[in-house]
Amino acid sequence: MDKHKLNIDTSQNILDNNSKLKTQNSKILDIQNLNTGYGKKQVLFDVSLQVEKGKTILLVGANGSGKSSLLKAIFGIIPLWSGEVWFKGQTLHNAEQKLKTQQSKLITKGIMYLPQKDELFEDMSVKENLETSILHLPDKKEQKQNLAHIWEQMPVLKDKKDQLANRLSGGERKMISLGMALLNKPKLLLFDEPFAGLSEKNMDMLMQSLEKIQQNGTTLVIIEHRIKKLLNFANRVIGLKLGRLHTDNLETLDNIKKFLI
C-alpha cells in the first residue's frame, strides 16, 4: 500500500516537474519575487521578470534605483533574501534552500556578467587578456579557433593585439571585456552600462559588436542611461524605481523620460 502510494506520489512529482520545466524552458531567465539588499538595507522589492530566449532587454532607472544590484543578484554576487532565479528551466539561486550557484558554474552554463567598471589585467596585452578566458579549455585547437573568431568579430582588437591594456582607450578596453565574455560563448549576457564614459566613436564601435551578438541569438540584458542609443535595438524596456520593477508604458522615449523623473 505504502509502496503504491509512493509510486503515485513519484509519478505526480515527475509530472509536476516536467510541466514546470516546460513553462520554464520557453524563458531563458525567470526571476520570481526577488527581494535583496545590503546588510539590513533592502534595495530590490518583489522583483519578477521573465526574459525570452534571444531577446534584448534594456533596463532603465534613476541612479540608485537598484539596476546593478539586480544584475549582481542574477550573477550570484549578492545573495537573495527571498525569491528565486531560474535559467533555462533550472534554479540558479533561491533563498529558502540557500542555493547559490558559483560564478564559475554560471559561466559554464552560459551566463556572463560585465560590471560597470572593466576588470582587465593592466600590464598584459590585449591578446594576453583575451587568452585568460580560454586557458581553461583543454583543447589547444579550440583555444585557437575561439580566439580567431574574436579577431574576426572585433578587428579593432586584432589591430592592437600586442598593446598593453593600460595604453588603450575606454572604448577599446570595453571591447576587450566584451571579447573576453564572448570567448565563453554566453547564451545570456548581462551588461552594466556598456557606454559609460565612451566617446561617440567608441560607442558606435561597441554598438556594432552588440548588433552582431544579438544577431547570433544571444539574450542580452543591458543597463544604460544612453537610452536613445538602445531604444530601437532593444525588444523590451523595463524600469526600476526605488527597487521595484515597472514593465508597462516604456515603449517610447517620452514615456521613459517621464518614468525617470
Ligand X SMILES: Nc1ncnc2c1ncn2[C@@H]1O[C@H](COP(=O)(O)OP(=O)(O)OP(=O)(O)O)[C@@H](O)[C@H]1O
In the complex, the smallest distance separating the C-beta of residue 139 from ligand X, rounded to whole angstroms, is 38
Q: Which of 68, 129, 153, 214 touches ligand X (CB under 6 A)? A: 68
Cβ atoms of 46 and 33 within 8 Å: the answer is yes
Sign of the CA dihedral 178, 180, 186, 189? negative
User: Residues 64, 79, 155, 197: which binds ligand X (CB under 6 A)?
Assistant: 64
> Min. distance of Cβ 169 from ligand X in angstroms?
22
151: phi > 0 → left, psi -120 to 50 → alpha, else beta; which?
alpha
End-to-end CA distance of the chain: 64
Based on the shown chain and the rule CB under 6 A, indicate whether residue 61 belongs to the binding site for ligand X.
yes
The yes or no reply on residue 65 touching Mg ion (CB under 5 A) is no
140: which 3 cell numbers?
Answer: 589547444
Binding status of residue 239 toward ligand X by CB under 6 A: no
Dihedral sign for Cα 209, 68, 100, 46, please: negative
Q: How far is CA 95 from CA 25, 70, 98, 121, 237, in A?
A: 22, 15, 5, 34, 27
* Window 67 to 106, contacts with Mg ion (CB under 5 A): 68
Binding of ligand X at residue 63 (CB under 6 A)? yes
Site string for ligand X, 4-43 (x = CB under 6 A): ----------------------------------x--x-x
Q: Using an 8 Å Cβ cutoff, are 186 and 110 in contact? A: yes
Residue showing the smallest CB distance to Mg ion in the complex = 68
Longest CA span, the chain: 74
Locate cell 544579438: which residue?
214
The nearer residue to Mg ion, 63 or 97, going by C-beta atoms, is 63
When the beta carbons of 3 and 41 are compared against ligand X, the nearer one is 41
Name which of residues 162 to 181 contact ligand X (CB under 6 A). none
Binding region for ligand X (CB under 6 A): 38, 41, 43, 61, 63-69
